[in-house]
Structure 1
């Protein structure tokens, strides 16, 4: 039995807003929508569906309405031959009135030829109609050239090797009529597009291809150029194959049913899709699910374009969820590259993202358990109230925070600040950043890992090349970070430097009197002269924190400069190296917090023996 889909359940993330209801709210009205991440003024979102944090594609799809199957229209019924200003047909279910061809009975019809100014209309009641376009070129100066006004379901097949074209009018004569067409290829019934031919659609008035029910694209070489939305299925849009090239003045691919929480979804399971949209690249009223194929999106002019308040310019947007379980997704967007008012879950696939705002933003929860996420450029890289990284390969470049866990209940996540209770104090922030696996590399101009609440790590490898200014830190959490496993390297400025708590895995914190230059290989050497870690920063640093299994609390270590790294490197970090001929910089005691101040450290910050300053055990967000 399908459950009502109306709340977000954030598993293993008690800080997330449980039962968040978004019905009838603008994006700005949703608690915690990030500044610059909201939709256009006045745009509304549907009820957020019952999607758990970390949901798989199969789980999300199981909660949605069933996609229609292609119905059999029977054997060939006849041929419609278009001839300039009129047409002829050998089928009984076809009438011709000047340049308007009307199909009134179910069956399979082959359409060929050119209609300079006219329409092909399907008005077949509940019957199944299958149109085979075989060199059909239809233009209308008064409305849509191909209209399915009534049918049980419809199929448009592109004949193998054929080239077909549909061009509509700039304004429609019947625009105010009930069920009036609003696309060059328009259907009131479930529509399937298939075949190995080509179709070029020019939408001069509004959309390119639209169905008021479901729309499935199985195959074909389809090119759409429209003044508003490119391809839209009200109940759903499913692309399982074909080559699509969509240029849209509005949204590129869209499903916009806002009255049924089991509908309004977009699925890409195959095909080669290229989308250039002035609005959102992919926009689903509920869920966007990608399980295969190649999706290449440019939204709002790309990441070098300033987002506006009037138009939503996100790359891939699902109000309830965005789930990627396979395929290749490339986004270049003015606003968030991937966005959801609910959850984002990445279990597989390859994402390459460039954004003028967030690389990936979810109001409630963001989970990465597999695949690869490469944020090439962003304001903030990954952002949600509950961020869980359990697998995969993640690379983030951000001008501000690299990974930001911020409470949506506090208002704008971009500006949210936790209440720092002082060194060792407990956070009042509700957000969480949890790392249990995977490989994470962060290059941040602001905070590297920013948790407006709790930061816990039990596995994986995280390397942070953090800020160079003292107003930010490589690690910034409301309360003392807990690191019980994995490898954490956090390098950057020292003014807000922070280290893990003393009840977990061993760590060292070094604050340098003199800045260490980018490209300098630093090594941590134990009392026996064995190198237990090396790091080569990508930027100038004055603070370095390393937590790894080879470090023992209470033991002294020497930090040297000019070492040689050996072994497998992860963004400048290795677990071994050669310190021969290196220069000693300072000596630190693993896991030791000592009262005092040095090197710009916060009062009460940690200080390794022989070091100058250290890391604070608590701070603000």
Structure 2
């Protein structure tokens, strides 16, 4: 968790005064933000409804120049394909498989309707890399003691659809034992793109490891999900993208985690809608790339950061209720352009951190309603840096005349006021 202030674009004309650095002003309209934390904050008398909002930022910054993020805002149009959203299927054209306590392998493109149970085994997808495969979960109960309940080894893309009105459960019970070079560490583990959707319920119980992992894109467009995980709840290497659905995650680590150490533009998290209830013992939402919220209703209870990005964090719409956090919203650059945010944190409410001087940018079409807002920022890399204050004490002259300026001395005033 970082404490270094870089740039904040915050909804509402909220002026944050700092000690030892430049003050930060944020402008916006149509966004309501209520924050509570243990630090003090001071607000300006601009056009926002800032009630009892007082800030004293305990901020230490250096004179370095901030390096802004080069990652562009995500474009929602085209984010999800028609197949991602499609939940209907032709049962006559599909292959029906009754699970009878043994593992199965799907090796060809097509639609497969699964029902029944496996007490210790898995469904494996191992098909050509051009194959698009749809798996309909029609009331299944699949457990694997030491590996994934569903393992996508090879395909172009897999669509995992819950049938209407059904309840499906996937689980593990013991530590993962990998028999190949691939480190399988989730109840649903996919080496390829995977989309979760449907009109039913999917329960995922990861006693060990993660709930769902994709080494490419992890997409959710509909359905109800109850995920309990000993590690991360949802994890995507290229992205985690959520269009809709009811998603309940309880995780020992991050509820939603995006990470790609090879490409800074990947590993992002996008939320365009849905109802998310996230409880985590680490960060609720964490990414090494961009975190963008364009809609939805998100409720967060986090031991560490509620929303954290190593790069840009953008909120354009939606309702975010942060019930508990160490830091509320943190990113290298934070842009809040719309939506409603209710936030409680033990430390920073909103923190833009990059290890450099304070910057602010303005967000249009937003207003801020801050009740008892608290914001604190620190630069831990520059603890010994000299603070630049707006009021510097003039040196004592001790009766001496001031030094020459451009070869001239200022005129003697002889007790007279300057003209």
When normalised by structure 2's length, the TM-score is 0.71
Please list, as runs of the form range in 1=range in 2, the aligned pairs for 1:222-237 lying within 5 A after superposition: 222-237=225-240
Structure 2 residue aligned with 1:349? 339
Please list, as runs of the form range in 1=range in 2, the aligned pairs for 1:486-525 lying within 5 A after superposition: none
Alpha-carbon offset, residue 330 of structure 1:
1.1
Counterpart selection for 2:203 from 195, 200, 203 = 200
Do the aligned partners of residues 249 and 65 (structure 1) sit closer, same or farther apart at CA in structure 2, a change above 3 Å counting?
farther
Q: Is the 8 A contact 1:226 1:248 kept in 2?
A: yes
Do the aligned partners of residues 180 and 74 (structure 1) sit closer, same or farther apart at CA in structure 2, a change above 3 Å counting?
farther
Please state if 1:158 is matched with 2:162: yes
Alpha-carbon offset, residue 422 of structure 1:
3.2
Structure 2 residue aligned with 1:418? 388
Structure 2 residue aligned with 1:61? 74
**Partner Cα distance (1:209, 1:152) in 2:** 18
Q: Is the 8 A contact 1:234 1:255 kept in 2?
A: yes
Work out the number of aligned pairs and report it: 331
Counterpart selection for 1:336 from 297, 319, 327 = 327
Q: Is the 8 A contact 2:58 2:376 kept in 1?
A: no
Please list, as runs of the form range in 1=range in 2, the aligned pairs for 1:455-494 lying within 5 A after superposition: none
Structure 1 residue aligned with 2:49? none
Q: Is the 8 A contact 2:8 2:352 kept in 1?
A: no
For structure 2, the residue ranges without an aligned partner over 5 or more in a row are 1-5, 10-21, 24-56, 60-66, 396-419
Structure 2 residue aligned with 1:24? none
**Partner Cα distance (1:35, 1:9) in 2:** 16
Q: C-alpha deviations, 1:115-135, integer Å up to 9, x for none?
A: 122111111121111000000
Alpha-carbon offset, residue 397 of structure 1:
2.8
Counterpart selection for 2:96 from 79, 104, 118 = 79
**Partner Cα distance (1:100, 1:35) in 2:** 58
**Partner Cα distance (2:232, 2:176) in 1:** 16
**Partner Cα distance (2:89, 2:276) in 1:** 31
**Partner Cα distance (1:195, 1:133) in 2:** 9
Counterpart selection for 2:370 from 375, 384, 395 = 395
Structure 1 residue aligned with 2:352? 362
**Partner Cα distance (1:213, 1:294) in 2:** 25
Q: C-alpha deviations, 1:558-585, integer Å up to 9, x for none?
A: xxxxxxxxxxxxxxxxxxxxxxxxxxxx
Q: C-alpha deviations, 1:496-545, integer Å up to 9, x for none?
A: xxxxxxxxxxxxxxxxxxxxxxxxxxxxxxxxxxxxxxxxxxxxxxxxxx
**Partner Cα distance (1:137, 1:294) in 2:** 30
Structure 2 residue aligned with 1:245? 248
Alpha-carbon offset, residue 142 of structure 1:
2.6
Q: C-alpha deviations, 1:387-428, integer Å up to 9, x for none?
A: 456651141536xxx45677x597259x98434653699xxx
Q: C-alpha deviations, 1:302-335, integer Å up to 9, x for none?
A: xxxxxxxxxxx10001111111000001113442
Q: Is the 8 A contact 2:236 2:257 kept in 1?
A: yes
Counterpart selection for 1:50 from 70, 83, 91 = 70
Q: C-alpha deviations, 1:12-68, integer Å up to 9, x for none?
A: xxx89xxxxxxxxxxxxxxxxx999xxxxxxxxxx98415xxxxxxx5104999667
**Partner Cα distance (1:360, 1:10) in 2:** 8
Counterpart selection for 2:182 from 175, 179, 182 = 179
Q: Is the 8 A contact 1:364 1:385 kept in 2?
A: no
Do the aligned partners of residues 9 and 344 (structure 1) sit closer, same or farther apart at CA in structure 2, a change above 3 Å counting?
closer
Please state if 1:274 is matched with 2:277: yes
Q: Is the 8 A contact 1:199 1:223 kept in 2?
A: yes
When normalised by structure 1's length, the TM-score is 0.49
- Structure showing greater radius of gyration is 1
**Partner Cα distance (1:138, 1:35) in 2:** 52
Structure 2 residue aligned with 1:322? 313
Structure 2 residue aligned with 1:70? 83
**Partner Cα distance (1:293, 1:384) in 2:** 33
Do the aligned partners of residues 173 and 361 (structure 1) sit closer, same or farther apart at CA in structure 2, a change above 3 Å counting?
same
Please state if 1:189 is matched with 2:192: yes
Do the aligned partners of residues 392 and 405 (structure 1) sit closer, same or farther apart at CA in structure 2, a change above 3 Å counting?
farther
